[in-house]
Amino acid sequence: MHALVTGCAGFVGSHLTESLLEDGHDVLGIDCFNDNYARRDKFSNLARLNAFDRFDFVPLDLSAGGLEEVIDECDVVYHLAAEPGVRTSWGGRFDWFVRNNVLATQRLLETLARSPDKRLVYASSSSVYGNAERLPTSEDLLPQPYSPYGVTKLAAEHLCQLYTSNFGVQTVSLRYFTVYGPRQRPDMAFHRWCRAAVLGEQVRIFGDGEQTRDFTYVADIVAATRAAATAPGAAGRVYNVGGGSRMSVNEALAIIAELAGRALQIEYLPNEQGDVRNTGADTTRARAELGFDPQTPVAEGLAAEFAWMLEREIPQVAA
């Protein structure tokens, strides 16, 4: 298989690309290195991928179009490129979310309309549900985003459905629930908390810590994403991808404290705009149709992320 992975230098994108390469597939990676966090982290992820002979990289902004050549080279497209973040999607940066989440997806789909036999797996988000009326939440519940970020992810989902209905493009949308693990983005909660625990700094929590999330380890996300590319009958479908490990923020902090071997200095702050109270995925459909079977409990996954953080930060502390 020759795969195209957009956002290949990002958190999930680099894990997915590495998994494909390790299994002997050819991968063409695309990334525009947007400035939502330090480029050195993305270059570090990219360096791991460049070690594989079967990997080629093209620095490209999807929203600019001109994607015919890269699409022609691939059999399947994994679309993970996006402008991420609930809290940063308010205010003046919203145009970045429109460009990198909506316009970029439209440009990609428009190009794929020429080759509708190629499947596109789109990385959507649980943010499309907002404050869901039911937990666990099934795909049949009406999405009601609670942030501009969620609005743009849902808009891209709708574009996928439109191009499937009108042009026959084989799109599959996966609603990821709170992905974590090594190489997590610096703005994401577990990254910030593990780093603070390693460095002995204060941990800042928005809310009372009793809010819950369905935490999903990155390897389980990768497995579901790869399955969506080949599962028969998945084209035109939407799937929840959650780890089945719903717990409160305070429970997760207790695990990090145990890993750190000391109590955490926690500062509780008011909720921020766009933060939902609870998330929980009903993964019945993904289990039945994609063979999805998450393997990593939060304690095990957090231990892996904490070990990665130690390796990342301790040399800097020593220096």
d(CA 171, CA 98): 20
146: annotated active-site residue: no
| Catalytic residue from among 122, 129, 149, 163 | 149
Q: Taking the mean position of all CA atoms in its chain, how far away is CA 183?
A: 12
d(CA 189, CA 182): 13
Neighbours of 113 (CB within 10 A): 13
Helix 11-22 × helix 218-228 angle, to 10°: 60
For the chain, the domains span 2-178+216-243+279-295
Q: What is the mean pLDDT of residues 29-48?
A: 92
> At 147, which amino acid appears?
S
pLDDT tens digit string along 6-15?
A: 999 999 999 9
Residue (of 234, 153, 132, 176) closest to 15 by Cα position: 176
- Edge-to-edge strand list for the sheet holding 245-248: 179-180, 212-217, 245-248
Question: Is CATH 3.40.50.720 what the domain over 2-178+216-243+279-295 is classified as, yes or no?
Answer: yes
The H or E element that residue 192 is part of is helix 189-199
Q: What is the mean pLDDT of residues 233-253?
A: 97
pLDDT of residue 206 exceeding 90, the answer is yes
DSSP per-residue codes, 205-244: EES-S--EEEEEEHHHHHHHHHHHTT-TT-TT-EEEE--S
Classified as helix, coil or strand, 88 is helix
Find the range with the poorest average confidence among 26-40, 96-110, 174-188.
Answer: 26-40
The H or E element that residue 170 is part of is strand 170-176
**pLDDT, averaged across the chain:** 96
Full-model pTM: 0.97
Q: Which two tokens stand for residue 86?
A: 């609930």
